[in-house]
A = this chain, B = another copy of it.
Amino acid sequence: MGVEFEREDYLFLNELGISPENLGCYGGGVWRANGPTVTSVNPSDNKPIASVREASLEDYEDSMRACAEARRMWMLTPAPKRGEIVRQIGDGLRDKLPLLGKLVSLEMGKILAEGIGEVQEFIDMCDYAVGLSRQLSGSIIPSERPNHAMMEVWNPLGIVGVITAFNFPCAVLGWNACIALVCGNCVVWKGAPTTPLVTLATTKVIAEVLERNKLPGGIFTCVCGGAEIGSAIAYDTRIPLVSFTGSTKVGLLVQSIVHARHGKTLLELSGNNAIIVMDDAVLPLAVRAVLFAAVGTAGQRCTTCRRLIVHEKVYDDMLAGLLKAYKQVKTGNAVDETTLCGPLHSKHSKACFEEGIKKIKAQGGKILTGGSVIDRDGNFVEPTVVEISHDAEIVREELFGPVLYVFKIKSLEEAIELNNSVPQGLSSSIFTRNPETIFTWIGPTGSDCGIVNVNIPTNGAEIGGAFGGEKATGGGREAGSDSWKQYMHRATCTINYGNDLPLAQGINFGG
């Protein structure tokens, strides 16, 4: 395989190591693939970009064997040395930033600024993980027994499986792989079946670093594939931790499979995120934030704002401002720099949008703007704002597109109750200038989400904090804070270096 592209606007793919036809499995340092062939399609025109041969189960098994072999060597490599490898991966991505960002935009359908921002986030994660490689610190805890040292020690798990979704085809791997690698784990990655080119281009950067440093390729494995490969990962007892990003439904299934074999999961599942606009909010700021949160990535972020909760005193003004802003949104080809709203990722997504709009209407929703698919090539739909009762069943679901439900409330208490009333618990935001409101919102009786913002949108998290959500969102945490602990095995160690055997709690056992 490996001829070059002829279409001029795809020529840049050559520089990312992508050809019109590609092998979709990197295992044990070798590119291979014996599974079915899939075609990557440009959501802006629904025309093929390139084809990828996916991994067969044999490819998977061969790759995992190499991975399992590399495990011991990598676990015993000092963490700062692992950090140096991740640093080089970051530099490799930095070299490819504009091109890889463009590929993300091309294949996923998000706008160029967001495609580049996504790769930048991976780079940021690399930089962060390098520092972390000298800070994966255990503790030495005072023992109640003389001549005893009590320690909390953190060791690698060995292998981490990472299953990512189409909406962040690059950054979510970065969140997981950077931390997993410095923690001493080999990584096995299955990207989304519809974004294989980003998967391959990203893997090539990592592979190049491993090869340059003469490290076993088994340290990083990439297996393009669908449910069959995902299932193989879930059932694989060699993989103590499976990090899964996707729907709540599939996530819970993966979790039950992994738990049954006594493995762990790190879940990043559905969101259903609200922004509250209080009566003391700075409305222009709120309008801009809601626009970015609801329309950005064409509503396909897990942190996309899907519900807008507005205080009655500013309801009309807020809506007027918002609808005006919606009117100015330019929809178009994702890689076109002037586009603000690209296409949905797939025909399937577009069909779901249409289905959702039908349900909305059936459940009494009133379309304030948008509500239709756009009649042109590509999966374009209109950014949509809907007034609907908060009791409507559809409000509890995650409709993965640019649809925003609007509600009117009378008090902070009512707003918080509404915010917390859905099964999901990922992100949430309030616009206010009142310290009491702010601290109530982030306090015990405030938002029940994992991300709780003030005067910024629900989306656009920084990597220094922990990313993830509660309830149906799955409870996992990625990126910063102590998220790394999930990628390691904690041991409480007590070392008796003396000559006696005193017992805890002062127990005397026949002594």
Residues of A participating in the B interface, judged by any CB pair closer than 8 Å: 72, 75-81, 83-84, 87, 113-114, 117-118, 120-121, 124, 127-153, 155-156, 184, 252, 255-256, 259-260, 262, 264, 282, 285, 288-289, 291-292, 296, 329, 340, 423, 433-436, 438-439, 442-457, 460-467, 470-472, 475, 477, 480-482, 489-499, 501, 503-511
By a CB distance below 8 angstroms, the chain B residues around A433 are 434-435
Across the two chains, which residue of chain B brings its CB closest to A339? B510
Return chain B residues, CB-CB under 8 Å to A128: 130-131, 134
Kindly identify which residue among B151, B259, B329, B452 contacts A491, using a CB–CB cutoff of 8 Å: B452
Alpha-carbon separation in the docked complex, A184 to B146 (Å): 13
Residues in chain B near residue A136, CB distance under 8 A: 142
Dominant secondary structure at the A interface: mixed
Contact A144 B462, beta carbon cutoff 8 Å: yes
List, in ascending order, chain B residues with CB within 8 A of A135's CB. Answer: 131, 135, 141-142, 464, 480
Q: Which residues of B contact A461 (CB under 8 A)?
A: 492, 494, 504
Sample of 20 A–B contacts (CB below 8 Å): A72-B445, A76-B146, A80-B464, A83-B127, A128-B130, A128-B134, A129-B131, A141-B464, A141-B481, A148-B456, A153-B442, A184-B444, A285-B501, A433-B435, A436-B497, A438-B497, A439-B497, A448-B489, A454-B493, A465-B492
Checking B130, B140, B439, B493 against A130 with a beta-carbon cut-off of 8 angstroms, the contacting residue is B130
Whether B462 contacts A497 by the Cβ 8 Å rule is no
List of B residues within 8 angstroms of A452 by Cβ? 153, 491-493
In the assembled complex, the CB of A435 is this many whole angstroms from the nearest CB of chain B, namely 4
Q: Are A492 and B156 in contact (CB under 8 A)?
A: no
The answer to whether A491 touches B450 (Cβ under 8 A) is yes
Given contacts A259-B255, A456-B494, contact A464 B507 (CB under 8 A): no
Q: Contact between B501 and A456 (Cβ–Cβ < 8 Å)?
A: yes
Q: In the bound complex, what is the Cα–Cα distance between A262 and B448 (angstroms)?
A: 13
Q: In the complex, what distance in Å separates the CA atom of A178 from the CA atom of B492? A: 20
B480 touches A141 (CB 8 A): yes
A122 shortest CB reach to chain B, Å? 10
Q: Say yes or no: A509-B292 contact (C-beta < 8 A), given A143-B462, A490-B466, A498-B436.
A: yes
Contact A466 B143 (CB under 8 A): no
Verify A142–B147 contact, CB threshold 8 A.
no
CB distance from A45 to the nearest CB of B (A): 23
Find out whether the CB atom of A155 lies under 8 angstroms from the CB atom of B462: no
Q: Is the CB of B143 within 8 A of A288?
A: no
Complex Cα distance A118/B442, Å? Answer: 33
Q: Which residues of B contact A329 (CB under 8 A)?
A: 510
Q: Is the CB of A155 within 8 A of B439?
A: no
**In the complex, which residues of chain B have a beta carbon less than 8 angstroms from the beta carbon of A449?**
491
CB distance from A351 to the nearest CB of B (A): 27
| Shortest Cβ distance from A440 into B: residue | B497
Q: How far is the CA of A87 from the CA of B309 in the complex (A)?
A: 42
Residue of B nearest to A118 (CB): B505
Are B481 and A139 in touch, CB under 8 angstroms? yes
Further pairs besides A262-B472, A442-B493, A460-B505: 15, Cβ < 8 Å: A78-B143, A79-B142, A87-B127, A113-B508, A114-B507, A117-B507, A120-B505, A138-B139, A138-B140, A147-B439, A151-B442, A152-B481, A455-B495, A456-B494, A466-B492
